[in-house]
Amino acid sequence: MPIALKMQDTLAIKPADLKLAPLYEPERVPFTFETIGWKVLAIVLVVLACLIAYYLIKRYYKNAYRREAITKLNQAGSVLDILVIVKVVAMQTFGRETVGPLYGREWLEFLDDAVDEPLFAPYKEDIEEVTYRSNTLAPETRELILLNSKKWIRTHAR
Range of the domain at 141: 64-155
Residue 131: inside a domain: yes
Mark the ranges of the chain whose per-residue pLDDT is less than 70: 1-12, 15, 158
Residue 50: inside a domain: no
Inter-CA distances, 43 with 31, 46, 49, 50, 52, Å: 19, 5, 10, 11, 14
Residue 73: inside a domain: yes
What is the pLDDT, as a whole number, of residue 77? 81
The DSSP secondary-structure symbol of 30 reads P
What is the pLDDT, as a whole number, of residue 131? 80
Inter-CA distances, 90 with 33, 48, 121, 141, Å: 53, 34, 17, 22
Amino acid at the residue 31: F
Q: How many domains does the chain have?
A: 1
What is the pLDDT, as a whole number, of residue 12? 67
How far, in Å, CA of 158 to CA of 59, rounded? 13
- Helices 124-133 and 79-94: crossing angle in degrees, nearest 10, is 110
Residue 51: inside a domain: no
Residue 25: inside a domain: no
Residue 136: inside a domain: yes
What is the pLDDT, as a whole number, of residue 136? 78
What is the pLDDT, as a whole number, of residue 4? 59
Residue 19: inside a domain: no
What is the pLDDT, as a whole number, of residue 110? 87
Query: 20: helix, coil or strand?
Result: coil
CA-CA-CA-CA torsion sign (13, 16, 21, 23): positive
Residue 138: inside a domain: yes
Q: Which of 90, 77, 98 is nearest to 120 (CA)?
A: 90
